[in-house]
Amino acid sequence: MADYGNQDTPFAGITHDVDFGHDRTRRCAEEQIDWGSPIFSYEGDDVDGYLVKQDIGVITLDADLITDNTITTTVTIDGVTQTPVATPFNVGGHNDTMDDHVADLEAAIPGLSVSLTDATNNREFTLLLAGQNITVLASVVTGGASQAGVTITYNNGQVFEGVARFTQKGDREVGAYYENDAMNVRERGLIHVETSVAVNSGQDAYVIWVTGANQGKFTNVATDNYATNCKFRGTIAAAGTVLLEVNGINTDATP
């Protein structure tokens, strides 16, 4: 066996160089988090740590709501389908109906923040659920003489903090931090992580934030993924464990 920090068979979360105290920070794990996972927080939060999330859903209408329309939105939270939220047309008009739907969604789903984000024609809802995955199964307009079409897109509203560092825990049987554990996060330096694809040393590293089997894994693919300001410092021919250079917190990486 090689020296600690330079393992013969490295695994996710193990560091590769000397880990000085200023190269890491501690955060409270808000869920079970495997060693080597990219860690995220929210702007202004210096305490909590999360896995990456698809935490923003954007619903855009292509026309105003009109008399006798009803807009109904159905979402899943971490894979659990919520009760559909239906809002009938408000006689005050399109804008009042949009405001009503915002209020109805926030009242029906604890923790959900909804805002109207289209300043031009007031046809866009942005749904944010911090620390959880949100999927808009459907948002449809029914009734009335005509119905607006709907487009649904997603985004991520988090801040990249670093990578969950391996910590020796003799009483644990899994390579992870449990919810509410004090978690060591590598902010700078070399650490091993899991990738979803083959990568080459020197390539920029991104994190997959869209829900699915590869959510939370590193990749060299920039499109629709989260820019971390990290670089791969190893080469692998297929998905697996590879060395990553972490270069500090990245607060400006909207996908």
Question: Which residues, listed in sequence order, are joined to residue 219 by a DSSP beta bridge?
Answer: 206
pLDDT band (50, 70, 90) for residue 6: low
Question: 217-251 pLDDT, tens per residue?
Answer: 999 999 999 999 999 999 999 999 999 999 988 77
Positive or negative torsion for Cα 104, 107, 109, 113: positive
Q: What residue segments make up the domains of the chain, in order of their start?
A: 21-41+158-247, 56-155
19/47 Cα distance (integer angstroms):
21
pLDDT band (50, 70, 90) for residue 2: very low
How many CB atoms within 10 Å of residue 92? 10
What the block records as the tokens of 125 is: 């809802």
Enumerate helices (H) and strands (E) in the chain, giving the number of each.
Answer: 1, 20
The residue with tokens 């390579």 is 175
Q: For residue 1, what pLDDT is reported? A: 41
Q: For residue 254, what pLDDT is reported? A: 56
Report the chain's mean pLDDT, rounded to a whole number. 91
pLDDT band (50, 70, 90) for residue 74: very high
Q: Does domain 56-155 have CATH number 1.10.1060?
A: no
Instruction: Give the amino acid at 185.
Output: V
C-beta separation of 86 from 142 below 8 A? no
What the block records as the tokens of 244 is: 């990553």
State whether residue 100 is helix, strand or coil: helix
pTM of structure: 0.89
Question: 174-200 pLDDT, tens per residue?
Answer: 678 999 999 999 999 999 999 999 999
37 CB contacts (<8 Å, ≥6 apart)? Answer: 12, 13, 51, 163, 164, 193, 216
Question: 201-218 pLDDT, tens per residue?
Answer: 999 999 999 999 999 999
* Residue (of 93, 88, 137, 134) closest to 110 by Cα position: 134
C-beta separation of 190 from 41 below 8 A? no
What the block records as the tokens of 186 is: 């590598």
Q: b/e per residue, 218-230, with b = 16+ CB within 10 A?
A: bbbeeeebbbbbb
Question: 94-153 pLDDT, tens per residue?
Answer: 999 999 999 999 999 999 999 999 888 899 999 999 999 999 999 999 999 999 999 999
1/115 Cα distance (integer angstroms):
55
